[in-house]
Chains A and B, each alone.
Chain A
Amino acid sequence: MTGTVPRRLAVVLVVLLVALALFPLWGKAVFAAKYAFLLQKLTGIMIVAIMAMSLDLLVGVAGLVSLGHAAFFGLGGYMLALNSPQYEAANLWLVLPQTLAAVAVAALVVGFLSIRTSGIYFIMVTLAFGQMGFYFFNDSKLAGGSDGAYIYVKPKVEAFGAILVDLDHKLSFFYVVLGVLVGVYALLRVLLASPFGRVVGAIGINENRVQGLGFNPMAYKLVAFTIAGTVAGLAGFLAATQYGFVSPAMLSWHHSGDVLVMVILGGMGTLFGPVLGAFILELARYGLEAVTDHWLLPMGAMVIAIVLLLPKGVAGLLLQWCRKREGSDD
């Protein structure tokens, strides 16, 4: 069920979250010289996790497997690049709403044209839109073409002349992204628990039955698609802010595929599963890269093993563990 997380599991997730939030305290002692790099790495993983949650709304909840989701992520990044003055900081209070509005409109249009299809056709249509976005930025002079573009000065977050947060400061940005991660999770959790979320979840199970109850599945799917695209755009905005660079690769179908794997391995339709999937996959990649140049081989084996052994992903395993514990408590 998408609406609730068992209490025992919630405790585990909160412990993991607290450990992540306290990384700046214990990370320095444990990782010493690598601390700064890992702080950035974890920030990047949290951003991907935000995107994975947004894709989970489509794949795990509404039953819409999209291979074009990275287009919205990339668009979010490009909106920041295009709206940032070259040698001055953009005003976050202006550029963030502009970005989210532009991505929402793009998602609305793409969604309107895509959700009329289903199954393999939906995958193909979203893939096509994603690739259109990729080649648009790759082949045009806009924002550097295939070379991408730099954001030399990060957006400023000011209120009444005072700087609230310095996004250029790695630790501050880490906590900003952590806050966004928690905020997006909470928002999506509330959304899924609402009547709207229940209908979207029911559509993912059986669209015809939902129609038989008098709900228009197209309208619900379109709203879900737009919300998911907008959240992915927010993640793209954060990624562009972190790295100070955007490139067409942000929109590529490979990126959509990577995040889809995180959603599937983490556990579809659970929201927290894709977050775990993002951490497991990205940290495994980092670890394996350090060990061998042929890291893709063990990585592939790991993905196959998880899919075979945990058909409901890591989240499914955790939920099963909770049920067993609850059973033994009774």
Chain B
Amino acid sequence: MMLEANGIHTFYGAAQVLHGVDFRVGKGETVALMGRNGMGKSTLVKSLLGIVRPRQGTVRVGGHDVGALDTHAIIRRGIAYVPEGRGMFHNLTVREHLVMAARPGAGGRADWSYDRVLRTFPRLAERLDNLGTHLSGGEQQMLAIGRALMTNPDLLILDEATEGLAPLVRREIWRVIRAIKETGIASIIVDKNVGVLLDLADRNIILVKGKVVYDGGPDTLKAQPEILERHIGL
């Protein structure tokens, strides 16, 4: 198992956001995290990475309990995180964003080189000397994903990767995510684009008010659309 969380209870002050969430991602598996706004999807991701500390529950990465580790140490266990909002640095160029993040993955694996990332996102190659914040929304998202790939991750977490993007750019991002999946990198995808997630994900998890109400394959959701209608409103 790549990542496993059990009984996660997370609070913001006195407000409980996650109520005993169990979550797992297998090696090479693509898991879609679905739910309406405010149901705890991003909080679950932040809880897995130690950005928000769960009050109860365990998180294991590669079988090791990471509950006591800082975020950077959890990330170093083979995870790449593309946050909501893309997380650009206004003092770094495209090239600097990519070079800064570069490191080998587990066992010295270096499948994703600088050149390969630029081949995957040719638009970035045209803007290497532009500051990250001077790119369009779509280009920033490509850079955020490219930067994540430069760490040669085993697990890629994408939080609202296509939010606010034009349909054409969104299609391009989904194409790349599919290509990443084919390379065997596991991923957790948080997104509102249910149609694409049903096609792309190996497993879908639906969160409602901080609880997992569905954890299963996309075929069941396609066969029983009332589940989506009830929990997501589609």
User: What residues of chain A have their CB less than 8 Å away from a CB belonging to chain B?
Assistant: 1-3, 195, 198-199, 201-202, 204-206, 208-217, 269
User: A215 — which chain B residues lie within 8 A by C-beta?
Assistant: 72
B76 touches A214 (CB 8 A): yes
B7-24 contact mask (Cβ, 8 Å, vs A): 1 or 0? 000000000000000000
A206 touches B70 (CB 8 A): no
Contacts A1-B93, A205-B89, A208-B51: A214 and B75 contacting too (C-beta < 8 A)?
Answer: yes
User: A214 — which chain B residues lie within 8 A by C-beta?
Assistant: 72, 75-76, 79-80, 103, 151
B60-92 contact mask (Cβ, 8 Å, vs A): 1 or 0? 000000000011110110011101000101111
B49 interface contact, C-beta 8 A: yes
Q: How far is the CA of A201 from the CA of B96 in the complex (A)?
A: 11
5 A-B pairs with the lowest CB-CB distances in the bound complex, closest first: A214-B75, A198-B100, A209-B87, A211-B71, A211-B72
User: What is the minimal beta-carbon distance from B146 to any residue of chain A, in angstroms?
Assistant: 12
B51 touches A216 (CB 8 A): no
With A1-B92, A212-B51, A212-B87 known, 5 other A-B pairs at CB within 8 A are A198-B92, A211-B72, A212-B72, A212-B75, A213-B75
User: B49 — which chain A residues lie within 8 A by C-beta?
Assistant: 212
Contacts A3-B96, A213-B147: A205 and B91 contacting too (C-beta < 8 A)?
Answer: yes
Which residue in chain A gives the minimum CB-CB distance to B76? A214
Q: How far is the CA of A208 from the CA of B89 in the complex (A)?
A: 12
Contacts A2-B91, A201-B89, A202-B91: A216 and B96 contacting too (C-beta < 8 A)?
Answer: no
Interface residues of B in 106-126 (CB under 8 A from A): none
B143-165 contact mask (Cβ, 8 Å, vs A): 1 or 0? 00001000100000000000000
A205 touches B83 (CB 8 A): no
User: A199 — which chain B residues lie within 8 A by C-beta?
Assistant: 100
User: What is the minimal beta-carbon distance from B56 to any residue of chain A, in angstroms?
Assistant: 23
Chain A contact residues: helix, strand, loop or mixed = helix
B232 interface contact, C-beta 8 A: no
Contacts A208-B51, A209-B89, A212-B49: A202 and B72 contacting too (C-beta < 8 A)?
Answer: no
B89 touches A212 (CB 8 A): no
User: What is the minimal beta-carbon distance from B117 to any residue of chain A, in angstroms?
Assistant: 15
B131 interface contact, C-beta 8 A: yes
B99 interface contact, C-beta 8 A: yes
A206 touches B89 (CB 8 A): yes
A209 touches B83 (CB 8 A): yes
Query: What total of A-B pairs shows CB separation below 8 Å?
Result: 66
Q: How far is the CA of A204 from the CA of B91 in the complex (A)?
A: 10
Q: How far is the CA of A3 from the CA of B92 in the complex (A)?
A: 9
Q: How far is the CA of A211 from the CA of B151 in the complex (A)?
A: 13
Q: How far is the CA of A199 from the CA of B96 in the complex (A)?
A: 10
Contacts A1-B93, A198-B99: A216 and B70 contacting too (C-beta < 8 A)?
Answer: yes
Which residue in chain A gives the minimum CB-CB distance to B86? A209
B213 interface contact, C-beta 8 A: no
Q: How far is the CA of A164 from the CA of B19 in the complex (A)?
A: 73
A195 touches B100 (CB 8 A): yes
23 contacts between A and B (CB under 8 A): A1-B92, A1-B131, A2-B91, A198-B96, A201-B89, A201-B91, A202-B89, A202-B92, A204-B91, A205-B90, A208-B51, A209-B83, A210-B72, A211-B71, A211-B75, A212-B51, A212-B72, A212-B81, A212-B87, A214-B75, A214-B76, A215-B72, A216-B70
Which residue in chain B gives the minimum CB-CB distance to A61? B91
Which residue in chain B gives the minimum CB-CB distance to A198? B100
Q: How far is the CA of A201 from the CA of B132 in the complex (A)?
A: 14
B1 interface contact, C-beta 8 A: no
Which residue in chain B gives the minimum CB-CB distance to A203? B89
User: A208 — which chain B residues lie within 8 A by C-beta?
Assistant: 51, 71
User: B87 — which chain A residues lie within 8 A by C-beta?
Assistant: 206, 209, 212
A216 touches B73 (CB 8 A): yes
Contacts A201-B91, A201-B92, A205-B91: A212 and B99 contacting too (C-beta < 8 A)?
Answer: no
Q: How far is the CA of A212 from the CA of B76 in the complex (A)?
A: 10
B38-65 contact mask (Cβ, 8 Å, vs A): 1 or 0? 0000000000010100000000000000
B92 touches A212 (CB 8 A): no
Q: How far is the CA of A208 from the CA of B85 in the complex (A)?
A: 13
Which has the most chain B C-beta neighbours within 10 Å: A205, A208, A214?
A: A214
User: B73 — which chain A residues lie within 8 A by C-beta?
Assistant: 216
Which residue in chain B gives the minimum CB-CB distance to A212? B81
Q: How far is the CA of A315 from the CA of B109 in the complex (A)?
A: 43
B166 interface contact, C-beta 8 A: no
User: A3 — which chain B residues lie within 8 A by C-beta?
Assistant: 96
B101 interface contact, C-beta 8 A: yes
Q: How far is the CA of A1 from the CA of B102 in the complex (A)?
A: 20
User: A1 — which chain B residues lie within 8 A by C-beta?
Assistant: 91-93, 131
B51 touches A213 (CB 8 A): no
Return the contact of A212 from the options B83, B91, B96, B102 (Cβ within 8 A).
B83
